[in-house]
Structure 1
């Protein structure tokens, strides 16, 4: 039997289902890049607030990147994942995927395709 915990977001107070169960299943928040410990910010956050906090932390990091320090950055050292997250890795423009700097930094190199947000 799977028991899902209902928690209240420490930011907006909205109730949400936490994926961590008594049986030790992984929470949905584990699908996000492990760039910070959410407990450094607050207790558990709902999916919307967690995504915003993650995006804000990524934007802070990306702001420190220059073409000179992009290669070998800490994003490229994260475990590889085939999952990309809208708003974190990409957004849509005119029906097309536009990859954000974070996506490129995780890849770890320039693909020479003249991408809009290439940090290299």
Structure 2
């Protein structure tokens, strides 16, 4: 039984569905990196506002990293996921995926391919 809950975004006031609450941890927001504490904000955000908030928080974190700090970054210790999110893990350029710094941080090491956004 798919049990979704209707919610109102605390940022833009739009209505959205809050995942399948009948299955533990199956809301759409669980595809995103677990970078927010529940105490950090109000109620849930819609997918668009949540993605934007994630992008902003990740970009702010990335700006604090030096090459030395990148080796001890928090992203590599987060639970691994196979889902790549456009705008967070990569962006499209001329039809090609360009991996962002966050994607490389999650890997935890440099691949040696001289990637454009490599933090190492």
Do the structures match in fold with TM over 0.5?
A: yes
Tell me, in whole angstroms, the C-alpha distance in 2 between the residues paired with 1:40 and 1:82.
26
Give the unaligned 5+ runs of structure 2.
Answer: none
Tell me, yes or no, if structure 1 residue 56 matches structure 2 residue 56. Answer: yes
Distance in 2 (CA, whole Å) between partners of 1:117 and 1:55 is 15
Aligned length: 119
What SS does the aligned partner of 1:97 have?
A: strand
Runs of 4+ in structure 1 over 3 Å off: none
The answer to whether the Cα contact below 8 Å between 1:75 and 1:106 also exists between their aligned partners in 2 is yes
The CA RMSD over aligned residues, in Å, is 1.2
Contact 1:38–1:44 (CA<8 Å) still a contact in 2?
no
TM-score by length of 2: 0.93
Unaligned runs of 5+ in 1: none
What is the TM-score normalised by the length of structure 1? 0.93
Q: Deviations over 1:36-89 (max 9, x none)?
A: 125512210000000000111101110111111111211011111111100000
